[in-house]
Structure 1
Amino acid sequence: MTTPNRTFCAHTLATLRPLSLACGFVLALAGCTTTSPFIIDNKSYHSQGQEQRIKFIVLHYTVGNNERSLKQLTEGNVSVHYLIMDHQDDKIYQLVDDDKRAWHAGKGAFANRTMLNDTSIGIEIVNPGIKPEYRQVLRQTDAEYYAYEHYMDFEEVQIEKVAYLVDKLAKQYDIDPTHIIGHSDMAPSRKIDPGAKFPWEKLHKEYGIGAWYDEFDKSYIMNSGEYETASIQDIKQLFRDYGYDINDTDEWDKSSRNVIYAFQLHFRPQQPTGNMDSETYAILRALNAKYVDRD
């Protein structure tokens, strides 16, 4: 069956005069597309089998100044949804729409999910990362990991912007507190950002953002002697329960210690050693008690 719209188009094209062919042809084509014979109904029915695409917020530092960071994130193969510069202004720059995939996370995993570019919003914060005088310290010494004092501070206005933005996004997309993570949390053998100077504890206690442990639980677990009887496999399972991707070897090899270091950057930033100890264990157990065991 020919629709009235198509009949009109055919008649119009057939009766065009040669002198006005070019103009008439354009008008006729325009007439062909002004009306659709079908309607997309997105209100009558909805599938139960669906979920929110955005499940994580991943925070980074740029390892560069404003100009270099902006150039890299807009002209190169790396991209991010939001960029927070160190200017003393009120600007937060959105470089990629929330519903689009940005190339910020790379290879890694968290909470049993890989390909986090597909399920996350990335936020880059302009910060050089490691202080210039310490950038060769790992090569020049026997140290394996950067210490707290090796990292650069963030500007206070940047943290205020992060707090505003993450709070807004977490509420908008109903993101679990444990899914607000650093790049190092999901890629501990590749990345160390946003580093030891990023104030996770402050964001949680002052703005209600992200996850943090209860001090009472941590102290109780430290005093219980539980760490002394926990096996390596028991501890690694606790890391997995919280979300970290860690291997199942019976030793604290370099890959496993990278996970410990990433965890400490997030939850014990003033002493990020990469070594397992009773305090790190107590913090891990306290976090699981608060956020995982509740389920």
Structure 2
Amino acid sequence: MKIVPLLAVAALLAGCATVPSPDAPRLDHSLSARGQSDRIKYVILHYTVSDTPRSVKTLTTTDVSAHYLLTDTEQPFFYTLVDESRQSNHAGISSWKIYNQLNSASIGIEIVNPGFKETAEGRVYAPFSQAQIDQLIVLLKDIVKRHNIAPGNILGHNDIAPQRKQDPGPLFPWKQLADAGLITWPESSRVLARVPGYLQQLPEVAWFQRKLAEVGYAVPQNGELDQATRNVISVFQTKYRPSLYDGTPDAETAALLDVLTSPLPVAPAPSPEGR
């Protein structure tokens, strides 16, 4: 006998729950503007300079954060620390092409890696495990697909902050990302074909500065081989020529820049008569 009154009360409460608050805005979601784009334009890769437990602590209990943290465990996996819809504090003072302060337009991925140590023979960087790179490529492909990330917009922290950052360093295997179709890579045959010409006549520093800016780097445009320019050249070399990244504007670096900024022309579609 008590079931009917209880059902009636439940129905009444359910009905009340659907009544909008008088203070709530009246929203119509039936329209969508043409002039819009995804907030996420870039993916920025970092190393943590720490092990997994300390990396977790740093990225969850301080003001520094990242959307994802890739562990260095035997079977690496990702901690999701910040939802992609929200901004994380991973890029800091940064610049790439027309964007500054890339936190607001990027996804940050931290990879557990000790970074480097100074030795009597110089700075020695720690390698990344292949298992980590395999997992990273899977995640990057997913992010690229969901946010339509351009190949030139998967970057290292050093790319967007070349005056103060080294990560992910010269041992990060960017070529594997290129082979997976994730980033643009200068075709080796075209680079080799250009090297002899640049060995005979190396461009002036101003040329290197213009080309680096065309790629996306924030670099001085003063025609001088100052320390800031050397830093940017060194960062470029760690990605595309990691065997030597001393910041010297040499012939191979010129050839790499030339090819990267001179894409092959797209062949025109055949005419109906030529089919």
Output the TM-score relative to the length of structure 2. Answer: 0.85
Verify: 1:196 aligned to 2:170, yes or no.
yes
SS at the partner of 1:240? helix
Residue number among 185, 192, 215 corresponding to 1:212 in the alignment: 185
Q: How far is the alpha carbon of 1:49 from its aligned partner?
A: 2.2
Partner of 2:5: none
Question: Which amino acid is the alignment partner of residue 175 of structure 2?
Answer: E
Verify: 1:49 aligned to 2:35, yes or no.
yes
Partner of 1:261: 234
CA distance in 1, matches of 2:199, 2:19: 72
Partner of 1:142: none
CA distance in 2, matches of 1:33, 1:255: 61
**Mean CA deviation greater in 96-105 or 85-94:** 85-94
Deviations 1:75-95 (A, max 9, x none): 001000000010122521110
CA distance in 1, matches of 2:48, 2:202: 41
Relative distance call for 1:226 and 1:41 in structure 2 (3 A) is: farther
CA distance in 2, matches of 1:77, 1:235: 37
Relative distance call for 1:226 and 1:112 in structure 2 (3 A) is: farther
CA distance in 2, matches of 1:104, 1:81: 9
Relative distance call for 1:188 and 1:137 in structure 2 (3 A) is: farther
SS at the partner of 2:60? helix
Verify: 1:117 aligned to 2:103, yes or no.
yes
* Structure 2, gaps ≥5 residues long: 1-11, 267-275
CA distance in 2, matches of 1:275, 1:257: 7
CA distance in 2, matches of 1:260, 1:70: 32
Q: How far is the alpha carbon of 1:217 from its aligned partner?
A: 1.3
Output the TM-score relative to the length of structure 1. Answer: 0.79
Kept after mapping to 2: 8 A contact 1:63/1:128: yes
Q: How far is the alpha carbon of 1:290 from its aligned partner?
A: 2.8
Deviations 1:177-231 (A, max 9, x none): 11100000000011000001100012212x2221211011111211233872522
Verify: 1:240 aligned to 2:213, yes or no.
yes
Kept after mapping to 2: 8 A contact 1:227/1:281: no
Q: How far is the alpha carbon of 1:156 from its aligned partner?
A: 1.4
Partner of 1:187: 161
Partner of 1:64: 50
Q: How far is the alpha carbon of 1:274 from its aligned partner?
A: 1.2
Question: Which amino acid is the alignment partner of residue 180 of structure 1?
Answer: I
Question: Which amino acid is the alignment partner of residue 67 of structure 1?
Answer: P
Relative distance call for 1:67 and 1:289 in structure 2 (3 A) is: same
Q: How far is the alpha carbon of 1:272 from its aligned partner?
A: 1.1
Residue number among 36, 47, 62 corresponding to 1:76 in the alignment: 62
Partner of 1:152: 126
Question: Which amino acid is the alignment partner of residue 71 of structure 1?
Answer: K
Aligned residues: 252
Kept after mapping to 2: 8 A contact 1:192/1:262: yes
Instruction: Indicate the RMSD between aligned Cα atoms, in angstroms.
Output: 2.4
SS at the partner of 1:266? helix
Relative distance call for 1:227 and 1:241 in structure 2 (3 A) is: farther
SS at the partner of 1:124? strand
Verify: 1:275 aligned to 2:248, yes or no.
yes
Verify: 1:35 aligned to 2:8, yes or no.
no
Deviations 1:102-158 (A, max 9, x none): 000000101221010000000000000003x53x877xxxxxxx4xxx110111111
Q: How far is the alpha carbon of 1:266 from its aligned partner?
A: 1.0
Q: Which has the higher helix share?
A: 1
Kept after mapping to 2: 8 A contact 1:177/1:211: yes
Partner of 2:198: 225
Kept after mapping to 2: 8 A contact 1:82/1:93: yes
* Structure 1, gaps ≥5 residues long: 1-27, 139-145
Relative distance call for 1:238 and 1:157 in structure 2 (3 A) is: same
CA distance in 1, matches of 2:149, 2:245: 27
Partner of 2:8: none
